[in-house]
Amino acid sequence: MKIRIDSSKCNSVIQGWSRFSNGMEDYWYYSDQFFETGKSYGLISEYMQGCMYLSYLLGGKIKPEDNLEIYIDDQKSDIDKLNDFSWNIEPYYEKYKNLVVKKAIENGLKKGLVSESFEQIAKAFVLTEPRYDRKLSQLSGERWRASAAIGYVLGKKVFYGPYRSSEYYSKMNALPEIINFLKEKDCMVVLPVGSDIYIKRYVDQCIYLEPKNYQFQDALCMRAGSEPRVQITGRTID
């Protein structure tokens, strides 16, 4: 599956501003992007420079505006389709945060969307038995792994997450193993982060989201030497 973001018809410089339910906020500067399943990506930018916005856009959490277009396998798509096959690996602010790990995986396996057994899933996602009966929200270091396991058995294809600092990924020893498993199953992993210091070891491609050469005056954003062309819209993402 291929996902293409086309900003060629946009009238403004900045896609918008969003405050997320975890208290973070972000802006994203328009740019064309291309992603495909079977690969992993690090979205690299400083905080509030677009990496989390793009991650949640791919996750179907943000509605495209200002003629921004998203194509899935060359067919124009919408937020609902993106949301159908995407999964936030950070469950704490999601509706599924209180799912019990083993029970949720076993219920997902009953749908028959994947061929593995519970034991194989637990091994692939490095889940530990003492935490099988805990809710996702009660986990700490194992939370992302357990969440990804549940998303996988439910047939999700795009695994995305919130902004984290580079240091966060220096402590995730099991991350390469999980990323490789998901890639082998033709899934996509998208991780927004402050720099590429650690994440570049784990992903296939780093996408650097750097602000373009624009001048900023108050809430007005304009291309140098041209007329103002900005439309900044605010919203809160649940």
Q: What are the structural domains of the chain? A: 2-95+155-237 (3.40.50.300)
Q: What is the pLDDT of residue 23?
A: 63
Q: What is the pTM of this model?
A: 0.86
The string of pLDDT tens digits covering residues 71-114 is 999 999 988 999 999 999 999 889 999 999 999 999 999 999 99
Q: What is the pLDDT of residue 237?
A: 52
Q: What is the pLDDT of residue 223?
A: 35
Instruction: Find the mean pLDDT for residues 16-44.
Output: 82
Q: What is the pLDDT of residue 221?
A: 37
CA atoms within 13 A of residue 166's CA, in its CB half-sphere: 12
Instruction: Find the mean pLDDT for residues 193-213.
Output: 87
Q: Considering only residues 233 and 172, tell me which one the structure prediction assigns the higher pLDDT.
A: 172
